[in-house]
Amino acid sequence: MTRIIADISVSLDGFVTGPDPGPDNGLGTGGEALHTWAFSDDPDDRRFLREGTARSGAVVLGRRLFDVVDGPKGWDDTTGYGAGEVGKPAFVVVTSTPPESVRTTDLDWTFVTTGLPDAVDAARRRAEAAAADRGKDLDVVLMGGAATIRSALDAGLLDALTLHLSPVVLGAGTPLFTGGTPRKLVQRSVTPTSTATHLSYDVSR
């Protein structure tokens, strides 16, 4: 069964970027510390990265995040989604206006202009098609940004939430949660490592 999972790194004070994020400063000032776990040699960190990439049949992201990862200082062969892991999923971008050009033409991009629910539906279809080809269940992963994940949670689109809680206090930046619809979460796992605490929740609808 294809699930819809939000998966994002967050600071102890609840930020998913540092201050002043943008295409030339993707994670904001100090925000790189949020993803230290993804480059760690810790076996549990490596397992979370490997399993998260392997389960990704399609990935949803917002336009601001797309502009960062497709920008001149964005993804490359060493820093892209699941770089060094198995395969590359399809990517679905929620946007009001598709970009005129794409730098990362080696990736499979779909731009949806009719809202987040339609983007999630498009990603689900891509994930289910990939699952049929590979003969195993694959999920839709919402990688961000924060507004996209908040909107999905508020709209009841998520089945699960995975947080990589980094041992850093950023003081400012992009908050993951800023009010919204209350949701009941069921804690499924807690895995501490030297670089993060990996938290997995089911989302009650």
Residue-wise pLDDT for 180-202, tens only, equals 778 889 999 999 999 999 999 99
> What pLDDT score was predicted for residue 100?
94
Helix (H) or strand (E) holding 48: helix 43-54
> What pLDDT score was predicted for residue 182?
83
Distance in angstroms between the alpha carbons of the first and the last residue of the chain: 17
> What pLDDT score was predicted for residue 87?
62
Which residue ranges of the chain lie beneath pLDDT 50? none
- The three-state DSSP-derived secondary structure of 27-38 is CCCCHHHHHHHH
> What pLDDT score was predicted for residue 78?
72
- Which amino acid appears at position 94 of this protein? V
> What pLDDT score was predicted for residue 62?
96
> What pLDDT score was predicted for residue 129?
96
Task: Give Cβ neighbours of residue 57 (< 8 Å, ≥ 6 apart).
Answer: 2, 89, 90, 123, 126, 127, 128, 130, 131, 138, 139, 140
Q: Mention the CATH class of domain 4-203.
A: alpha beta
Other beta carbons within 10 Å of 39: 15
Domain ranges of the chain: 4-203
